[in-house]
Amino acid sequence: MSPLNKNTPPLGQHHLLAGGTPACAGCGGLENIKIIYDILGPKTIFVNAAGCMTLLSVYPFTPFPGSWLYTSMASAPAGAQGVRDALDILLAKKRIPADEDLQVVVLTGDGAAGGMGLSATSGAMDRNLDFIYLCYDNEGYGNTGYQFSAATPHGAKTTTSIMGNPGYKKDLFAIWAAHRPAYVATICGAEPHDLARKVAKLKNIKGPKMLIALAPCPTNWHFEPSATIQIGKLAVQSGHWPLKEYENGRVTHTKIPKPSDERPQVEEYLCRQGRFSHLFTPQRNETVLAEIQAKVDRYWQEVNDHYAG
């Protein structure tokens, strides 16, 4: 697999990269990054924790017109602090003009975000670091064979949970919101208008701005790459992936699914992914399917009760 050549078009101009990109076909993480980069523009620096997206930029080549810094999996927020401090010093000493300032963007997978990098992220929010944190959540350690992570949903099969994950997905949104940062949101590339509105909004907010992007993964979720958008839409429509934002102490849901008797059942989302195939064949696991559906229904009932109250 060859590195990107110097004539590779910028990411902001093409949905999928040419020139030998290592990104998997149909990658939901790349789908999110493409839209976000189109909005943020080239005056950004990505501070990337080791993960799937590390392979986008192989020294000395990069698909980004802007800058890229690679860090170990646990230390991307610390790297972002150093970059932001350096930029602020250069601005204060007038070594660079204001129009050369950069937006600092941390880019990590869910393994770093919800696991080994959580401490550094917590510290960055406590210090009120002015940065964007983007987690592409493919619900497992996708770059190393797809072991289960703190973000793996209940019942999902991975290489280290071959009978289905007995645990539950960590609520990273709630953990981040508990720090009271400037902004937290969940997004999904299959809902581009919601995503674009949130990114355009946070561009003008100072302080820690946190994004969790659902990143359907054809390689490890086991579905055809052409189905990425359909999978993402079903995640939202079934209520399995709530779209919401936290700002000024309040959580607001930006897309409410239809009532439970009208929206797609969660199994319509699950049955399209090989990682949940054991719940349907050789026989249906009614217990786990009912548990997953009940958890989603309970969540949205609580949301509706809150808005009604």
The per-residue pLDDT for range 109-167, each reduced to its tens digit, is: 999 999 999 999 999 999 999 999 999 999 999 989 999 999 999 999 999 999 999 99
What is the per-residue pLDDT for 13? 34
What is the per-residue pLDDT for 61? 77
What is the per-residue pLDDT for 22? 61
Q: How confident is the model at residue 15 (pLDDT cuts 50, 70, 90)?
A: very low
109: amino acid identity, one letter? G
What is the tens place of the pLDDT at every residue in 223-247?
A: 999 999 999 999 999 999 999 999 9
Quote the Cα angle for 214-218-220, to 5°: 90
Contact of 129 with 103, CB cutoff 8 Å:
no
Structural domain 11-308, CATH architecture: 3-Layer(aba) Sandwich (3.40)
Q: What is the pTM of this model?
A: 0.92
Place of tokens 């399209």: 272
What is the tens place of the pLDDT at every residue in 245-267?
A: 999 999 999 999 999 999 999 99
Contact of 9 with 42, CB cutoff 8 Å:
no
290: phi then psi, degrees, rounded to nearest 5? -65, -35
Q: How confident is the model at residue 38 (pLDDT cuts 50, 70, 90)?
A: very high
CA distance 148 to 134: 20
Q: Look up residue 261 and give its two tokens.
A: 């008797």
- How does the average pLDDT of the chain come out, rounded? 91
Tell me the range of 59-63, 238-242, 302-306 where mean pLDDT is highest.
238-242
Cβ-based burial of 231 (10 A; exposed 0-12, middle 13-18, buried ≥19): buried
Q: b or e along 197-217 (b: 16 or more beta carbons within 10 Å of the residue's beta carbon)?
A: bbbeebeeeeebbbbbbbbbb
